[in-house]
Chain A
Amino acid sequence: DAGVIQSPRHEVTEMGQEVTLRCKPISGHNSLFWYRQTMMRGLELLIYFNNNVPIDDSGMPEDRFSAKMPNASFSTLKIQPSEPRDSAVYFCASSFRQGGAETQYFGPGTRLLVL
């Protein structure tokens, strides 16, 4: 299995531009998570999908952030417009839901720098 795939691995953009991060979860997994990691705030859960449906998006910072999961094998996280404070590493993780006992499998992350 290729594991969780994220693209791009690195993104440098200017303030105000739209950024789209992509994730392909592990085949057969029914839960998908988007996280953001920064030195200041640590690992933050942004949004959680189960069976392609957003279950908890309380971690999404503001309306500039949106996430979609059109099918079981693809998800996007979009930031529009981007701001320098959005600079962080964004991780996608997937799991097969087992009542809380499931292991999360993380992708390699997308390192975003907004100038």
Chain B
Amino acid sequence: AQSVTQLDSQVPVFEEAPVELRCNYSSSVSVYLFWYVQYPNQGLQLLLKYLSGSTLVESINGFEAEFNKSQTSFHLRKPSVHISDTAEYFCAVSDSGGSYIPTFGRGTSLIVHP
């Protein structure tokens, strides 16, 4: 069985400051890792995902995440946040062994203050 831990339920930050949202997972097999974002009153949408290859993956809006197998982590970072980045961020893991059902973390609320 796999699990995902997002240690921070809420992360307040000022605009243009850097931010890191933490995600740790546990799994006995190889994994695929995802970050989804949920803007207010909307469904979740994919931000980025790691499948294989380079351990650093980037999104089109400046976020990046690094897969660290030894630390079983997939932290999300952005060097300079905007007000519009205020949202709930979910880390998810699915195993490559074939259950095909991703496990989502509890989410981290990123609050960007002007």
A residues whose Cβ falls under 8 Å from a Cβ of B: 4, 31, 33, 42-43, 45, 48, 50, 56, 91, 93, 97, 99-109
Contacts and interface: CB of A to CB of B under 8 A. Distances in A.
B101 A45 contact: yes
A43 B90 contact: yes
Main SS class of interface, B? loop
Interface of B: 32, 34, 36, 41-46, 49, 51, 90, 94-102, 104-107
A4 B44 CA distance: 11
A104 B44 contact: yes
Contact of A42 (B43, B98, B106): B106
Contacts of A105: 45
A109 B43 contact: yes
B101 A56 contact: yes
Contact of A108 (B43, B94, B100, B107): B43
Contacts of A102: 100
15 contacts: A4-B43, A31-B100, A42-B106, A42-B107, A48-B101, A100-B32, A100-B97, A101-B49, A103-B34, A104-B44, A106-B36, A106-B44, A108-B42, A108-B43, A109-B43
A35 B70 CA distance: 31
B44 A99 contact: no
A31 B94 CA distance: 15
With a 10 A CB-CB cut-off, give which of A50, A97, A101, A107 has the most chain B CB atoms.
Answer: A101
Nearest to B31: A100
Contacts of A99: 96, 98, 100
A62 B95 CA distance: 27
B51 A101 contact: yes
A34 B102 CA distance: 13
A100 B95 contact: yes
B104 A42 contact: yes
A104 B102 contact: yes
What are the 6 A-B residue pairs with the smallest beta carbon separation, nearest first?
A106-B43, A100-B94, A42-B106, A106-B44, A103-B46, A43-B104
A79 B45 CA distance: 26
